[in-house]
Structure 1
Amino acid sequence: MFSDYAALIVLLPVIAFVLTLFFGKKLYSGGALLPIAAIAGSFIISLGIFLEIYPTDGMVQQSLPWFAGMNLGILIDPLAVVMLMMVSFVSLLIHIYAVGYMAHDPARPRYFAETSLFTAAMLSVILSDNILQFFVSWELVGLCSFLLIGFWYHKPSAAAAAKKAFLVTRVGDVLFLAGIVLLYVNMKLLVDNGTLVIESQSYILQFKKMFEAIPLIDGTQLTYIALLFFGGAIGKSGQFPLHGWLPDAMEGPTTVSALIHAATMVTAGVYLVARTFPMFVATPSTISAGVPDALLIVTYVGGFTAIFAATMGLVMNDIKRVLAYSTVSQLGYMMLALGTAGTVLGAEAVGISMFHLLSHAFFKALLFLCAGSVIHAVGTNDIREMGGLFKKMKITGTTMFIAALALAGIGFPFASLGMPIMNIGTAGFFSKDAIIEGALEYGEVTHDMIPYGFAIIAALLTSIYIFRLWFMTFTGKPRSERHSHESPGVMTGPLIILALFALFFGFSHVDFNGYLEKNFELMDVNIAVHEGEAFHPSAFLVLLPVIVGVLGFLISYSIYNKRMIDMSKIVSSGNPLYKLLYNRYYEPKIGADLIGVKLTHDVVARSGEFVDRKIIDWLIIDNIISNTLFKLGEIIRKLQTGVVQNYASVTILGVALLLVLLKLKSGGT
C-alpha cells in the first residue's frame, strides 16, 4: 500500500537536501541526481496513493501527538492528492532542466539543496492535517523562497529582492497567524463549555474539527478568521496590495522563478483558501444579499488583481517580468473563481479554481523554462534586444507558442454551443473558460457584473501581452548581434513534456471537477449551492472568452509582427498612461519612498530618536542615581591599568580571601 509510505513524500526531498548540502560538491552535477531521485520518489508515491483512493473517494489520515497539545498528521484527500502529484511532477521536470541551466554555476550544490528543501516544504503544506502544522510548513516555504530569490546574493538587486519578498510576505503571515490564534480561542471556548466534543485536545486544530465547529462559531468571529486567513493567502499568492514582491523575485535563477510561480510558494495561498473553503462559505452575508462576506472580498480582490497585473504585463520589457505579472494576474483568476463560483456553485468552485491552478502550473512552468532557454542562449532578459530567434530555437519557440496559446485560453466551445462534438482547446481554454462562466453566472444571480467584466478584460490583456512577448522574441529580424542557439536536450526535454500537458490536460476537466467537488463530503461538510433556474448563457457570451483571446493575438500580430502601427509615439515618456504602467502605478516608489522613508525613517525613526534623546536621556542622565553610577564607573575604570602583575595580585588576594571565608565558615559549623 503506497499510503503506508505517505510520510516519505516529504522525507525523501528532506534527506536529499541534507545529503546534497554536505556532499554535493563531490557528486555529479553538484549533487543534482539526489534531489531528482528523491522528488521522483515523491511523485511515484503520490501517484500510487491517487490510484488507491480514486475513484472511490477515499482518503488517507495518519496522526500522532506533537507538542503543547497539538498533533502532527497527514491528510490526503482528493484536494491534496492532485496537488501532491502536480507539485512533485512539475518540480521534477524543473530539477531535470536545471541540470543544464545551472551547469556552469559554481554554487550548484547549494542550489539543488535549497530547491529540494523548497519542494519538501510545499509538499508538507499540502500533506498537513491541521492548520498549525500547515502554518509551520508555510513559513518554511517562505524561508526557502528568501534563500532562492537571493541565491546570487553578491548582486545587490538579488539581495534586495529577497529581503523584500521576505518582509512583504511576513505581513500576510502575521495575519494568517492571528487568524489561527483567533480560531483556537473560539474552538477552545466551545470545547471548555461542552458545545464541541473532541477525542483529544491534540486534535483541536485539525481541519475536520475546524469544519465541525463552523456552525457553532459566532458569524462575526468567523468572518474575521476567514479574512485573516485570506490575508495570509494575499501575501503568499501576490494579490493586491501585497503583490510587489513577486515581480522582483525574478532576480533569482529562472528555474527558481519557475518553481515559485508554477509549482510552489504562490500556489500555497490559493490552496489555503481552497482547503479552508467551508469557513469562507459559512460567513454571514451582511454586505451583499446572498453573498458570504468573505467570498465577496475574495471575489473583488481576485478580480481586481487579475486586471491590475495584466495592465502592467503589457509594457514590461524584461521577459521574466512579463511572466511574473502574468502569474499575479492568473492567481487573481483562481481567487475570482473561489469567490464567484463559490457563491453560486458551492464546493464545485474548488474544482474550478484548482483545475486552473494545475493547468497554470503546466503552462507557466513551460513559459518560464522557455524564457530560461532564451536567456541561456542570448544572455539577456530584454525582449527589445531579441527578435528572429525562431530560426535557431525551433523547439523553444514552438513550445513557448503552445504555452502562450494555453495562457490566452485559445480553443473552441463546440459542445457549449450545442454542436455534436466536444470542446477542443488548450488546457488554459478549459480552465479559464470555466472561471469566466462562473463569474457570468455569479453576475446573473447577484446582478453584479463587475467581476465578470474584470475577467473578460483581463483575458483580452493576457492575450495581448503574451503574444507581444512571443512575437518580439521569436519573429522579425534580430535586433542585436547576439548569437543564439538551441538549448541542450536536458533542457528541451522537459519543455516538450510540459507542452504536451499544456495542450491536452484540459480534456480531464469533467472528471477533475467532479472528483474535487466531493472533497468536503468526505469530512461530512455540507456546502450550500444556489438553487435557481438552470444557467444557459447566449452563444455570444459563450464565445466571448475565445473572441477576446483571438482578438488579443491579432492585435499583437499586427503590431509586433507586421508593424502595422508605429508604437514609438505610444511607447514614449510623453504618454502619461504608458508612464503610469511602466512605472507600475508608482507602487515601488510609493513603497520605498513613502512607506520606507517617510513612515519608517521620518516617523518611526525620528520618534524613537526623540524618545531616546529627550525622554530617556533626561530620565537617566539628569538623575541622581545615574550620575552616581557614572561616577562609580569612572572609579572602576581607573582600576583597569592594563598591567598584568596588578591583575595577578588582585586574583591571588581574592583567592586568599575566599579561602579564609571558607575556613571561618567550616570552623563555625
Structure 2
Amino acid sequence: MFSDYAAAIVLLPVLAFVLTLFLGKKLYSGGAPLPIAAIAGSFIISLGIFFEIYPGGVVQQSWPWFANLNIGILIDPLAVVMLLMVSFVSLLIHIYAVGYMAHDPAKPRYFAETSLFTAAMLAVVLSDNILQFFIAWEIVGVCSFLLIGFWYHKPSAAAAAKKAFLVTRVGDVLFLAGIVLLYVNMSELIAGRALTPESGNFILQFKTMFEAIPYIDSGQLTLITLLFFGGAIGKSGQFPLHGWLPDAMEGPTTVSALIHAATMVTAGVYLVARTFPMFVATPDSLVHGIPDSLLVVAIVGGFTALFAATMGLVMNDIKRVLAYSTVSQLGYMMLALGTAGAVIGAKAVGISMFHLISHAFFKALLFLCAGSVIHAVGTNDIREMGGLFGKMKITAITMLIAALALAGIGIPFINIGTAGFFSKDMIIEGAFEYGEITGGWGWVFYGFAILAALLTSIYIFRLWFMTFTGKPRSERRAHESPNIMTLPLMILAVFALFFGFSQSGFYPYLETNFELMGVEIAGHEGEALHPSAIIIMLPVIVGVLGIVISYMIYHRRMLDMSKIVSSENPLYKLLINRYYEPRLSADIIGVKLTHDVAAQSGEFVDRKIIDGLVIDNIISSTLFQVGEVIRKLQTGVVQNYAAITLLGVGLLILLLKIGGM
C-alpha cells in the first residue's frame, strides 16, 4: 500500500537535502541526481496514493505531539492533486536545472536548497492541522529567502531576498495571530463542553476546526479567516504585499520557476482552499447572501489580477513580465474562491485549484523557456532580443504554446483549447454569475476579469513577438539549449495543451473533498444562470484581440511606440515605475519605519534607559549596595561557614519535625 509510505513524500527530499549538502561536491553535477531521484520517488508515491483513494477515499495518519496537539498527514482529493502537481513540476524543473546550472560552482548548495524547498511545500500540502501547516509554511519562506539570494554576492539579489523575507513575514504574523485566536476559541468551546472532539482527534486538526465552526462567534470567525487571508496575501503576492514577488527574479530562473509555479506562491491559495468551509461560514452583513470574508477575498483577488496585468505591459526584463503575470493569475485564483465560492459553494475550490494546476504547467514552461533564452543570449532584456525563432525553434514553439495557454485561447461550445482556456473561462463565468446575483457594483469583478484577460494576452505576446520574431537587435549569438533543458519544455508543453480536457473528472472529484470530511457547503440559492453566447465567447474574443494588438504593434510595427513609451507620458511613467511601490516601500518602510522608528527607538532605549537607568542610576546603585552587604558575609573563615551550615541543618530538621506532627 502506497499510503503506508505517505511520510516518505516529504522525507525523501529532506534526505536528499542532507546528502546533497554534505556530499554534493563529490557527486555528478553537484549532487543533482539525489534530489531528482528523491522527488521522483515523492511523485511515484503520490501517484500510487491517488489511485488508491480515487474516487472517494482519504488517507489520515496522526501521532500525538504535545498537550492536545498532533503531527499528522491528511491526503484527500484537494491534497493529492496538489501533491501530484508539486512533485511533478518540481521534478521537471530539477532535471532542467542540471543543464541550466551546469557551470555554476555553487551547484551543491543550489540543489540542496531546492530539495528542501520542495520538501517544505510538500509538507504544507500533507499537514492535517493548521499549526503543522504553519511550521512547514515558515520553512518554505526560509528556503525562498536562501534561493532568491542564491547569488548573494550581488547586492540586488541580497536586497531582494531580504525584501521577500520581510514582506512575507507581515502576512505570516497575521496568519499566526489567526491560529492563536482560533486556538483560544476552540479551547474555550472544549472547556465549556460545547465542542467534544472524537477520540483520536486533536484541537487544531482541520476536521476538528470544521466541527467547531457552528459554535464560534461569527465576529471571531470573520476575524480568524481574515487573518488567515492576510497570510495568504503575503505568500501569494496579493496587493498590497505583492512587491517582493517581481524582485524575487534576482535568483536563478529555475528558482523563479519553482516559486511561481510549483511552490510558495501557490501555498496562499491552498490555505484559503483548505480552510474554505470557515470562509463560507462567515456572516453576510456587507452584502446579503455573500459571506463577508469571501467578499474581501474577491475584492483583493480581482483588483490584484488587473493591477498586476497593467505593469506586465511595460516591463522589459523577460522574467519580470512573467513575475507580474504570476501575481495577476494568483489574483484570478483568489477571485474564483471569492466570487464563485459565494455563488456555487464548494465547486469554487475545484475551479480555483484547476486554474492553479494548469497555471503551474504553463507558467513553469514560460519561466523555463525564458531561462533557455537567457542561457542562449546572455541577457534578460527583451529589447536586445529578436529573431530567435530560427535559432531556438523548440524554445520558441513551446513558449508559444505556453503563451496561448496563459491567454486562454480555445474554441467555445465545442470545448477545444489550451489548459488556460478551460480554467480561466470558468473563473470569468463565476464572476459573471456573481454579478448577476449581486447586481450593481458586483459587476466590477467581471469587468476586472475581462480587462485583465485582454491585458494578459497583450503583454505575453508582446514578450513573444519581441523575443522570437523580427530582426536581431543585438550582436549576441543565440543557440538552442541542450536536450536536458528542452525535454522538460516539451513535456510541460503537452500538459499546457491538453490538461484542460481533464476538467470533466477534476471538478466532481474536488467537490467531494469537504463531504469526505463531514462538511456540507451549499452555494447561493436561486435559479441556474445560462450566460448568453457572447458572454461565453467574450474571454476568447479578448484573448485573440490581445494577440492581434501585439502582432500589429510589435511584429508589423504598425504603430510608432516612441511617443507612448516615453518619460513624458504620465501613464507610462506610472507603470514603468510600478506605481512607485518600490520607492514608497524603500522610503517609508526602509527609511521611515526602519531608521526613524526602529533605529531611533533602539538608540533611545540604549542610551537613555539602559545606559542611564542600568549603569548610572537605580539598578546599578542598588546592585552595588547589595554587593557590599553580601561581601561582608564572605569572611573566608571556615569556622563561620561550618556554624552557618550546622544552623541551617538544624532549622531544616526542626521544620521537618513540625511538619511531621
TM-score grouping bracket, smaller chain normalisation: over 0.9
Deviation string, structure 1 residues 514-565 (Cα, Å, up to 9, x no partner): 1101100001101121221221111111111001000000000000000000
- 1:627 and 1:82 map into 2 onto residues whose CA distance is 66
Distance 1:560 1:667, change over 3 A: closer
Find 1:567's aligned residue among 539, 545, 561: 561
2:657 counterpart residue number: none
Counterpart of 1:523, as a letter, is: M
2:404 counterpart residue number: 405
Indicate the SS of the match to 2:62: strand
1:2 counterpart residue number: 2
- 2:258 and 2:645 map into 1 onto residues whose CA distance is 75
- 1:624 and 1:347 map into 2 onto residues whose CA distance is 63
Contact 2:322 2:367 in 1 (8 A): yes
Counterpart of 2:493, as a letter, is: A
After TM superposition, the score normalised by the length of structure 2 is: 0.94
Distance 1:620 1:113, change over 3 A: closer
1:186 counterpart residue number: 185
Indicate the SS of the match to 2:72: strand
User: For 1:460-609, what aligned pairs fall within 5 Å after superposition?
Assistant: 460-609=454-603
2:320 counterpart residue number: 321
How far 1:198 moved relative to its partner? 1.3
How far 1:668 moved relative to its partner? 8.8
How far 1:289 moved relative to its partner? 1.1
Counterpart of 1:233, as a letter, is: A
2:381 counterpart residue number: 382
Contact 1:70 1:201 in 2 (8 A): no
Contact 1:70 1:202 in 2 (8 A): no
Counterpart of 1:439, as a letter, is: A
How far 1:54 moved relative to its partner? 1.1
- 2:234 and 2:249 map into 1 onto residues whose CA distance is 17
1:100 counterpart residue number: 99
Deviation string, structure 1 residues 600-653 (Cα, Å, up to 9, x no partner): 3224433444455456655567647757989999xxxxxxxxxxxxxxxxxxxx
Deviation string, structure 1 residues 242-274 (Cα, Å, up to 9, x no partner): 000000000110000000000000000000000
Counterpart of 2:144, as a letter, is: S
Indicate the SS of the match to 1:390: coil
Distance 1:612 1:532, change over 3 A: same
Indicate the SS of the match to 2:269: helix
- 1:248 and 1:668 map into 2 onto residues whose CA distance is 68
1:42 counterpart residue number: 42
Indicate the SS of the match to 1:389: coil
Contact 1:223 1:283 in 2 (8 A): yes
How far 1:441 moved relative to its partner? 0.4
- 1:617 and 1:356 map into 2 onto residues whose CA distance is 58
1:648 counterpart residue number: none
Counterpart of 2:42, as a letter, is: S
Contact 2:147 2:251 in 1 (8 A): yes
Distance 1:612 1:112, change over 3 A: closer
1:83 counterpart residue number: 82
Distance 1:616 1:93, change over 3 A: closer
- The answer as to 2:427 corresponding to 1:435 is yes
How far 1:665 moved relative to its partner? 3.2
After TM superposition, the score normalised by the length of structure 1 is: 0.93
Unaligned residue ranges in structure 2 (runs of 5+) = 628-633, 647-661
- 1:261 and 1:12 map into 2 onto residues whose CA distance is 23
Contact 2:613 2:619 in 1 (8 A): no
How far 1:113 moved relative to its partner? 0.6
- The answer as to 2:642 corresponding to 1:665 is yes
Contact 1:97 1:491 in 2 (8 A): yes
Contact 2:280 2:293 in 1 (8 A): yes
How far 1:346 moved relative to its partner? 0.2
Deviation string, structure 1 residues 474-527 (Cα, Å, up to 9, x no partner): 011111100100000000000000000000000011210111011000011011
- The answer as to 2:17 corresponding to 1:17 is yes
Indicate the SS of the match to 1:449: helix
- 1:632 and 1:71 map into 2 onto residues whose CA distance is 48
1:32 counterpart residue number: 32
Q: What is the percentage of aligned positions where both structures have the same residue?
A: 81
Distance 1:249 1:668, change over 3 A: closer
- 1:632 and 1:222 map into 2 onto residues whose CA distance is 53
2:128 counterpart residue number: 129
User: For 1:226-241, what aligned pairs fall within 5 Å after superposition?
Assistant: 226-241=225-240
How far 1:158 moved relative to its partner? 0.7
The size of the alignment, in residue pairs, is 638
Of 164-173 and 618-627, more deviation after overlay is shown by 618-627
2:220 counterpart residue number: 221
Root-mean-square deviation (Å): 2.0
Deviation string, structure 1 residues 316-344 (Cα, Å, up to 9, x no partner): 00000000000000000000000000001
Indicate the SS of the match to 2:213: helix
How far 1:53 moved relative to its partner? 1.1
Unaligned residue ranges in structure 1 (runs of 5+) = 415-421, 634-654
Distance 1:126 1:622, change over 3 A: closer
Contact 2:201 2:208 in 1 (8 A): no
Indicate the SS of the match to 1:391: coil
Contact 1:69 1:201 in 2 (8 A): no
1:242 counterpart residue number: 241
Indicate the SS of the match to 1:75: strand
Contact 2:289 2:524 in 1 (8 A): no
Counterpart of 2:638, as a letter, is: L
Contact 2:358 2:419 in 1 (8 A): yes
